[in-house]
Structures are given as C-alpha cells and as structure tokens.
Structure 1
C-alpha cells in the first residue's frame, strides 16, 4: 500500500503539470498562482481520492485458458457469485495520464483526459476453494489475466473520475461574484492555465461591472512582474485594474457624488448650513439671502484611480463643490463654486476569503473657482467641510469598503496564514490552502 501511495502521489503531481497553455490577448486583472507547495498539497488530496476510487474497482466475470503439459489445455471461469475466495496483492502501480485544462466560452475551466496508461509490476493471487489447489498451479497465467483487466480498469476509472468528479469540481470556480446590489466582479478565465515544474498560473479577467449597464473599459490592465516566492501554497496578484474598474463603475453611476444639507450637520454643531450661520464666512451672503437654507453639491471630476507603489496605496480625487441657496420658491440658486483636492491614504487587509479596505482621513484643500456673493473665508469653509468628511463621509465609505470583495476560490477551499505585499501596479497576496472534506 505504501508503494501505491507513492505512485499515486507522483501521478497527481504529474497530472497537475500537464496543462497546455493558450494564447494571451490582453493582460489579466488577477493571476492566481499555485506554487510547488500547493501542487504537493493537491497531490496529497488527490492521492486520497484516487485510493478511494481504486478500492471501488469491481472485477468483472472473465474466463481464460492455460496449457497443461501432457494433458492439453485447461479452462477457467471467474464469477463474482461463486463460492470460494482469493487473496489478491497488487504491487508497483504506475499510472501515466495527460490532462488538458481549458475554458468554456463562459470563462469556466474545463478538463479532459487526453491519454492514460497504467502498469502493474507484479500481481500475486492465492485462490481457496475446492479447485484452488489446481488453479494455484497455473497462477502465472491467471495473474497475467488479472493484471490486464486491472490495468484497463484503472484507466477506465481515471477517465470517468476526470469527466465527472474533476470537471464538476472545477465548475465550482465562480465566474461572477456579486459585490453588492449594484456591481459584480467578472472572474472568467482569459486562457488555459500556464504550468512549469514549480508553479501553475491561472489568468482571470477580474473586472468589476455594473449589473444593469455593462460597458467596455477604456483602459487595459498593466503587466505584472510577479515575485518568485514559494513560501505559501497559493498567491494572488491583483492588479490596480480591478480597483480602478470599480472606481469607474461607481463614478459613472454617480455614486461618488455627495450632497450636504443642514439636516446632515450634527445637532451639536454651532455652524449650520444656513445663510445666517455663514455670515462670518461670506459676509455678503446673509445680506443678499437672509435666513435661507443652503445646500452643497459635490462631484468627482473624473474617476479617481488607486495608485500602487511599493508599500503604499494612495488616492487623489479631484472634486468640485457647488453651493446653492434654497429660495422660498424651492428654486436652488447657485452662489459659489469650489475646487477641492485631497490626498487619501488607503489601507487594505486580506483575510481568508476577502480583501477589505479602509481610508485614512486627510484634510482637504480648497480653491475658490467662482463666487456670486463676494469674498469668501476659505479657511472657515475648509473647517466645515473637513468636519463633515471626517464624521460622515469617511465612515460611510469605510463601512462599504469593510464589506470587501471576494477572491475566486473553488468550493470547500479555505485560506489561512495570509500575507500581503504592495508592489508597483498590483497587490501580492499569499496564503496556504486547506481542502475541507464534506
């Protein structure tokens, strides 16, 4: 049995390294890399599965003949319903197989067994029963027949297992995962996995899109130069493309706009969003529009892209804020327009299945673009806006980022012992894997 286990271990490792690469058109947004440690773990789990399947092989009814010196030929028949028993020892199983891993038009992975051969070094049969003593005299011929049948059965079992079990399991790799009620991420394969003796790379699109209005992305994912690390079983290289497609989607849908009314200002604040309260900031405002409520409307000028540099993540959105007076007739009268610049630092964390984020508060800087109400005290206005951003805007955004987005994992796979590195243009996440048997 130990020899069988070793043979199956080498078989599974060989199977994992016989994937044939395709042609890559554009760069992937995410590369999932299985290292030699991961392949060894997969071989170990596969060995367990194959051993189980080998124990389920049923020998069919069969017949044979052999030559008896000075007598002629003898014939034998083996039937599973006859009385008697025999001991069968199988030694030195060698299995060679090629698997072709590709992808469906939907982006799901596929697997087929293109070839299979098996060889048994030695078989020993000890037959009991009424004529066992006679059949044991001609065990060589009988064992040769057993060997032929078992070798065919092994490949038949392997072909069946690949077609049903392995293919079905690969289909559990998610192609589309919902992030929230508005957006999802496309994890479809871009080509067949690429394999070397040390690793297996799987290229995924990893594009975030609007559920209802998906449109082509106007920029490409950058080339990622992955570090040659093998401490963990699996690594995920996640391009800034993934995060920036999210930014583009939410920007186009207006999710990055903001609106501030007096109702949103904390009740404890002495500064209200009214023309009277703004007398110290804009002296002419209260005289021109006495005792009226105000509203601030902010919009991001363009989709803010997340910048990756070694060990650092940053964001520099450009925002325009326009102020309005709410006239008694419910008409919104524009009074001034501001340009707002802010440098935001981002922190990302990686757990067993999700990437989550957190924005670190930074002060905003303002520039007066246009005023219809004279001189404006920008410093006091900055203080008001910073207060809102710190206690309202950032918490809302961070609550959403805390939900994170999920990594593409096969069913029953869990990650543990995670690590995270930040490289130019991409994140590099490492973890060990564990298959949870059900």
Structure 2
C-alpha cells in the first residue's frame, strides 16, 4: 500500500510540475505607464460622454421652517448641461490592477421647482452648480475561460465638496432658506449615480473593447495562432504585463507541442507605450505547426526553375553520367521536405536556424510514373530579418552555404559535390523566395481593434525577440 501511495503522489507531483511549466508564456505583452496614459485619455472622453447623459430622478420632500411652517417642495426635470473631467490620471496598483483618480470635476444642471406653503403655491426654475467632484475608480483585471481579458469596477467612490443651488421665482427667497437641505439631497443623489454610470461604462464600453483582442486567429488555410491569456494581467509598479500562450497550431489537426516555453522576462525598458516579447517557443511552434500541416514540402519541376535550366537526365548526366543511359532525356522532378520541424534559435545577434532538408530526385517516365533516383540530405545556416508592418510580424530569410550528403542512390555512386551549384540555385531561386513570400504576409500581433503601431523597435535577446512601439487609436470613421 505504501508503494502505491508513493506512486500516486509522484504522479500528482509530476502533474503539478507540468502544470506549472505550462504556465510559462510563449508571448508577453507589456503596457507601460505611457501606454496606460494614452488609453486613459480616450477612456476619460468616453466616461465624460457617459456622465453627460446622466438622468437624475425628481425629488420631493417636506420641511418645517421657523415662523413659516410646513413647506412642501418638488424638484423636477433635472437637466445636465455639462459634466467636465479636467483633471484625472491612471495609476498601477501592484498585484491588484488599475486605479483611475479624477479631481476638480464639475457639472452644471438646471431644472424646475414647485413649492406649497399652506394655500400658497409657486413654481420656477433653478440653476445647480456642482464643483470639486472627486471620483476614484478601481479596475480589477482578469481572464475568462476562453483566455480573453476581463475587467470590472471592484470599487468606486464619489465625493462632492460643493453644490450651489440658485432658485428663481416669487418664492425663490423661500427656497434659499433651506437650500442646504436640498443641496445635501442632490449631492447624495449625484454621488450615487456617478458610480452607477462608471460601472455601466466599464461594462458597456471597456469590457466589450477588450474582448476584441483576438485570442485565436486563422492565419492561412493551414495554421492558426493562439494568443489566449495563460494568467490574469499582472500590475507592477511600472507596467501592466499580460502573459499569452503564443502558440501556432495546425488547423487540420491540433496536436500537443513536444517542447515547453522557457521563462520570458522582458528587460526594464519603458520608453515606448507597449512592448511585445516573442519567445523562441513562439517561432518554433510555427515551424512545428507548418510541418504538421504538410506545408514544408516543395515540389520542384522545370516549370518553376529559372529559364535556360532544363530539369532532365541529360542536364544531370554531366554530374551523374549513368543517368543518360538508364533514363535517356527523361524529365526530372525534385521533392524537398523537412524530416522534422526546423528548430530556431534567438540570441543577441539575431535569429537563425539550421534546417535539415531531404531532396528526393525522380525521373518522370512517359507513363507519368515517378521513379526515385537518389536522396540528398541538405543542411545550411539560415538567418532571418524581422520587422513589424501593419500590426504584423514580417520577415525574410537568407541562406548561407549549403552542405549536403547522399543518403540513398538508386543509380549508383556519383560525386555529390558537383551538384553544389545546382542545389544552391534551387534553394536560393525557388525555396527561399516561396518562404519569404509567406513571411512577407506576416503573422498578426495580439492587438485589439483599431490600434495602429508606430516608432517600431526591434531587439534580440537570449531566447526571445522584443518589439517596442507607440500606439495610436483610430476611432470609427
């Protein structure tokens, strides 16, 4: 029994360790204070617009005034002329979320009043000025079951220091006798409804906008990308960090990635509004997904090679003399495939990989049957240039000298080195341009809608690529 319990405990421990390891992000987004300030500017405009539509309910009551007696009053048709938020700022609350503080806000209202004292009735209008309004809003950040970001108001408080009411009409002097009580009721009414408007604005405006972040996206006909949150956003003293899965997958069959992301820690750089950290895991899952989808296979025929080069046994007999005797003047094709997904490395000097490619040569007989001739194994140093364009990571590859060996031959032995120039031509003129064509289309960054990037920074670190940028929000036209 002790052995069984130990085995169960080991399994549980292994599962826990695997879970902990799986929480490492493949992609990190950091929003700096400058980015939060920019977002805050647009958020305050939205809140100001929402508060400008504030509807206040009618109020009524009774008051007893010395030497006057019981006074019945009604205040109705409260109309908010403006609600201004001139001073506000957003701050990070480490391990909690965000806090928005608004000070010296003010509002102006008008409305109608009606009063009854014994058998005397009168009515008129009034002006209301609300000054020194202080609002504090705490925003709690999280993620839902789909890995989308969430936000809600965890706390809200409103304090109004000054409310001034001026009544007009024949009995305006009477209202001014108990304006303090009326002002107190209006102050409490406003303080309550301001926080209600704030909560509604967060739920109606901010939360739906955050959900425009594409946590999964189809890239092309073969692959997709997973940007779901692996943990709720984390507020630090200087930034808001969001850990994303950052994983490519095959649309036809999504299988578990046979490797795990390493810890990714962005350097303390805060000169831009937003930073993206793309780990080597992120790029290697792309290679894994395209390989699993069968996209790393290239068929080379005479139709796709440069003009003047004939892909047949006559051409290759200069390197393999026996070919002409075995298959005289016969068309040839090549099938290039990666036996495994290429593994990419990122270091301070840049991004590189050493792919292994199998090249299978065929003779195409008159009956359209393809006969295998020989199989080469190619290795080469490939470097990459990375940039950002239109919210996409784009790139291009450059291949260095290619080394190859003969893995199998159905036509006897031959000097492989003599094929060097022809193999280089196939790689540089056909394979690399096809890959660069796809890389030029790029892969989307995890951005909510209507966000454009500018002042792009690209830096390489050990095991990850860091991108910095400023952002600009494009309102609907």
Q: What TM-score do you get using the length of structure 1 for normalisation?
A: 0.89
Shift of 1:314: 0.5
Q: CA, structure 1 residues 217+277, in 2 after alignment: closer, same or farther (shift >3 Å)?
A: same
The match for 1:45 is 42
Greater relative contact order (CA < 8 Å, ≥ 6 in sequence): 1
List structure 1 runs of 4+ shifted beyond 4 angstroms. none
The match for 2:129 is 89
- Structure with the higher strand share, 1 or 2: 2
Which of 342, 354, 373 is the aligned partner of 1:335?
373
The match for 2:12 is none
8 Å contact kept, 1:353–1:407: yes
Which 5+ residue runs of structure 1 have no aligned equivalent? 1-22
Which of 159, 177, 180 is the aligned partner of 1:140?
180
Which 5+ residue runs of structure 2 have no aligned equivalent? 1-19, 78-110, 113-122
Shift of 1:173: 1.3
Shift of 1:329: 4.5
Q: CA, structure 1 residues 59+262, in 2 after alignment: closer, same or farther (shift >3 Å)?
A: closer
Within 5 Å, which residues of 2 pair with 1:23-422? 26-80=23-77, 82=112, 84-269=124-309, 272-422=310-460
User: 1:36-66 CA distances to partner (integer Å, 9 max, x unpaired)?
Assistant: 1111222222222222222221221001333
Shift of 1:253: 2.2
Shift of 1:250: 1.1
Shift of 1:343: 0.7
Shift of 1:352: 4.0
User: 1:233-264 CA distances to partner (integer Å, 9 max, x unpaired)?
Assistant: 11111112221111111112221122223333
Shift of 1:328: 4.2
Could you tell me how far apart the structure 2 residues matched to 1:254 and 1:145 are?
A: 71
Could you tell me how far apart the structure 2 residues matched to 1:410 and 1:196 are?
A: 22
Could you tell me how far apart the structure 2 residues matched to 1:160 and 1:291 are?
A: 78
Could you tell me how far apart the structure 2 residues matched to 1:354 and 1:332 are?
A: 41
Q: CA, structure 1 residues 211+369, in 2 after alignment: closer, same or farther (shift >3 Å)?
A: closer
Could you tell me how far apart the structure 2 residues matched to 1:39 and 1:255 are?
A: 40
Instruction: Describe the SS at the equivalent of 1:263.
Output: coil
Q: CA, structure 1 residues 380+159, in 2 after alignment: closer, same or farther (shift >3 Å)?
A: same
The match for 2:462 is 424
User: 1:105-127 CA distances to partner (integer Å, 9 max, x unpaired)?
Assistant: 12222222233221111111112
Could you tell me how far apart the structure 2 residues matched to 1:39 and 1:317 are?
A: 41
Superposition RMSD on alpha carbons, in Å?
Answer: 2.0
8 Å contact kept, 2:222–2:293: no
User: 1:267-314 CA distances to partner (integer Å, 9 max, x unpaired)?
Assistant: 322xx2222222220122222332222222222121002210013110
Equivalenced residues, count: 414
Could you tell me how far apart the structure 1 residues matched to 2:231 and 2:410 are?
A: 58
Q: What TM-score do you get using the length of structure 2 for normalisation?
A: 0.82
Instruction: Describe the SS at the equivalent of 1:322.
Output: strand
Could you tell me how far apart the structure 1 residues matched to 2:21 and 2:42 are?
A: 30
Instruction: Describe the SS at the equivalent of 1:46.
Output: helix
